[in-house]
Amino acid sequence: MPPSAIRLVRRTGRLLLALAAVAGLVVVFLALLVLTDGAGFGLAAWLTTLGVATVLALWRGRRRAWPARLVPFLPVVVAAALTATVCVPTVPTARRYPSALPFVTTQHWRLATGSRVAVYHYPPAKTATRRPVPFVYLNGGPVRGISVLDHRFLELLARQGYDVYTYEQAGGGRSDLLPMEQYTISRSVRDLAAFIDRLGGGRADVLGFSSGGVVLTRALADRHVAARVHRAIIAEPGPMDGPTARITGHRGQKSARGLAPAMTGPRSTRVPRYAVAFGLMRLGLLTPDTGLIGQAEGDNAFTAADLGDDTASAYCARDAHRIPAENTPGNFSFSPAASLRVERTVKDSPSLAPRLRRSRTPAMLMIAECSSQVRQWETAVLANDPAIRRTQVMPGVGHHMWNGLDDNNDRARAAITAFLQDEPAPLPNHPTRGEIPAFLREHR
């Protein structure tokens, strides 16, 4: 072999060894990050990795002459620089709340539970017949700001004479943060009860969407909270308890997931610090109250583009190329750590069915044709709540049923108001409890 080829092989070998050393140090750092739960913004793991790497570099270079002794430190320096990016915040660590909305006043109420929540009120239109029972909307998330699309739908209900109230659940949107250990599904149910009490008018009609539907379902299973609910609309609920969360099954008709153009805009998941933090939390390797990033920093960092295909999955495949902007950049807010914490308390909870079977609050279940929810999550509510009087499968819409496209808002409004006013349903009552097996078998 020519000398030049031998030199090339040796250099390539050294480069590969150096790259392997860098990769090995990064793996050690990540392992220590998990073991320390990100203590001290990740500095505990970083300093330990750097210390171990420095000792190994000194040992490898102990018999070399200067400046060859410095060569083993090159992978250490590169790895230290790479891993340091995980430890340095790139957004403020104190909570930055969304700016005020121009079309509705943000109020802040201190509930009896101690939660301080952002409240929005849409009074009934003067030109419509005023409905005597206040209407409360619980948005999805679970710890997320209310989207502009949702606000527009609530305005539509107010024009029908409903006195509409909604609030961003504790930690979401413009509501104050809670200590991480206080984010539980039980706390969300207690907050709902306290909010209705704060209205001061007795009972309220409640619409719970997605994870808000989970809160409402669990409220109906608690007789003390259910006594505050006049009528309940459970729209596109997630799993109501641990056993339901473990159910696997099919979803609705094809959604726009994988078909819609990629969301534009900045992504925190392209920043090493937040890609690592959110990724390890999602895998369960870091706790929601990890020392790597604080709750406020995580909220500030997370953007609408980070949701990726989750937004597209809320629309039918036919709408893939006309998905509306759900939010303004200044209004978007999502708390990944707090949401994960609430979801885990649902997954860890025992079966809700025995208590839900005692429910007597009149209720309606709304299911989207292109739902991204597992069908059995939805039918489990229908199967176990004897007070569900009607089910409405909304054709032509995905998980986000009131989305401003075509006449979707009017159709959702018609189904809701017909139930609240005890009028004939605009759609067939389907599936009934007896039709659940066929509904699932036919992959409807």
Three state DSSP letters for 238-266 = CCCCHHHHCCCCCCCCCECCCCCCCCCCC
- Distance CA(334)–CA(298), nearest Å, equals 9
Residues in the chain: 444
For the segment 280-319, what is each residue's pLDDT rounded down to a tens digit? 999 999 999 999 999 999 999 999 999 988 899 999 999 9
pLDDT tens per residue across span 117-166? 999 999 999 888 899 999 999 999 999 999 999 999 999 999 999 999 99
3-state secondary structure of 57: helix
**Residue 89 covered by a domain:** no
Within this chain, do residues 156 and 243 fall inside the same structural domain, yes or no?
yes
Q: Are residue 187 and residue 270 in the same domain, yes or no?
A: yes
pLDDT of residue 373: 92
Residue type, position 69, single letter: R
One domain for residues 136 and 64: no
Report if residue 274 sits inside a domain.
yes
pTM reported for the whole predicted model: 0.92
Identify the CA nearest to 257 among candidates 323, 307, 313, 308: 313
The tokens describing 253, both together, are: 């008709």
Residue 358 included in any domain: yes
- pLDDT range class, residue 3, cuts 50, 70, 90: low
Q: Are residues 127 and 76 in the same domain?
A: no
Residue 143 has φ and ψ, to the nearest 5°, of -115, 90
Final residue of a domain: which of 84, 117, 146?
Answer: 84
Q: How far is 205 from 362, CA to CA, in rounded Å? A: 10
Based on the domain organization, do 277 and 351 belong to the same domain?
A: yes
Cα–chain center distance at 273:
20
pLDDT of 61 over the 80 cut: no
Percent of residues, the chain, with pLDDT higher than 90: 79
Sign of the C-alpha dihedral, residues 369, 375, 381, 387?
Answer: positive
Q: Are residues 275 and 365 in the same domain?
A: yes
Tally the domains of the chain: 2
Q: Judge if 179 and 308 occupy the same domain.
A: yes
Give me the CATH number covering residue 117.
3.40.50.1820
Which range of residues forms the domain containing residue 437? 107-441
By the 8 A CB rule, do 282 and 308 touch?
Answer: no
Domain check: are 281 and 243 in the same one?
yes
11 with 52, same domain: the answer is yes
Mean pLDDT of the chain: 92
